[in-house]
Amino acid sequence: MIAKLQCVVLDCPDVVELCRFYQSLIGGVVNQPDPRWSLDDDWATLHTDGIVLAFQRVEDHQPPQWPDPARPQQFHLDLGVEDLQRAQDEVVKRGAVVLDEGDGQRNWRIFADPAGHPFCLVRD
């Protein structure tokens, strides 16, 4: 091992909005003081159990267009849940968009966050 993951950074047009969206899904502390980063209008963080998500403002942010390979997802988060439908209802209420509900047989569904990044809810 030569490195340790410090955070996962998501580009977006509004760092606070996206940070609070993910806080409503997975909990955590928004903009917890941390000597590794300066917090400002262009950078926000969400400290969770063991993982830090960071949000970086990009002026002309162009969201991925799943499943279009011309604008690929680049990365995505898998979030474990107990009840897919209940979790889907909750993330949609918070601003997520359903991209693919699947066929009713598989154990995951695909969504886009408010900035267009795909993420999956996966049944634990």
Tens-place pLDDT, residues 16-36: 999 999 999 999 999 999 988
**Residue position matching structure tokens 């359903």:** 98
pLDDT confidence of residue 50? 85
CB 34 within 8 A of CB 41: no
Pairing of strands 77-81, 52-57: unpaired
Torsion of CA 89, 47, 76, 63, to 10 degrees: 80
* Phi, psi at 55, each rounded to 5°: -125, 125
User: Can you tell me whether residue 32 is helix, strand or coil?
Assistant: coil
pTM of the model: 0.85
Q: Which residues of the chain have pLDDT under 70?
A: 2
